[in-house]
Amino acid sequence: MRGVKVKTESDAIAFIDRMGFCLLFPQKDLPVASLWQAVKGPHPLAEWDEDASMIWGWKDDFPRRGLAWYGKLLRRKPCFVSRRALPRFLAAMGRPDWRRLYADGKLPAAARDVASWIEENGPTSAGSLRRRLGKARADKALTELQCALVLTHYGTEEASAGWPSAVLELVARAFPEAVDEARALDPAEARGDIEEWLGLHAPDLTPRDVSRILRAQMP
């Protein structure tokens, strides 16, 4: 991370590609680089400035353009995953499919309903899903589906009041090439690649640390 300075969109994509994945904002309990730190250095988010607005826009724009996956992943924190790392994550997680995950008891009915709705109706805003299911139920389902790499952010939709609402799309449609690439990868080798990327973030991580970080996402 030392010496990294992200100033432009191209810099941001290059940073995410080099690191393989990164957080949106730093997390004290998670030794993974963040895009915020790459832009602002060690300065914490104290006020909403132009840099914060720029980074906030990237989280919805990059997935929509196929440049990087974005959603809640490592320990349910907001993360980017680079286009080249995404097939490795998909392979290491067993090439997740929402129907199989539900059939295996790994997704609840609400998450199944959200995935089915988006599959049938196309990219859908979180606000619309909250109105259909209720806020708590929809938010829980969206988090579960992002952590399973079934969904990604996919732009925004203007709301009648307040912030724009995030739009969600199936990873299978937003990143079809990554899904195809994942089918040809060995899950154990894919996990090894992810562990190597973790070494770029924190070279002193022990195997136990690595396992703890990745435990919730992959077997």
> Which H helix or E strand runs over 127?
helix 126-133
pLDDT tens for the 219 residues of the chain, in order:
445 689 999 999 999 999 999 999 999 889 999 999 999 888 777 788 898 899 999 999 999 999 999 999 999 999 999 999 999 999 999 988 999 999 999 999 999 999 999 999 999 999 999 999 999 999 999 999 999 999 999 999 987 777 889 999 999 999 999 999 999 999 999 999 999 999 889 888 888 888 888 876 665
CB atoms within 10 A of CB 204: 7
Q: How many other CB atoms are found less than 10 A from the CB of residue 135? A: 12
Fold of 9-214: Arc Repressor Mutant, subunit A (1.10.10)
Indicate the pTM of the whole model. Answer: 0.93
For residues 183 and 90, the answer to whether their CB atoms sit within 8 Å is: no
E strands, 111-159, where?
A: 124-125, 151-157
Backbone angles phi, psi at 18, to 5 degrees: -70, -40
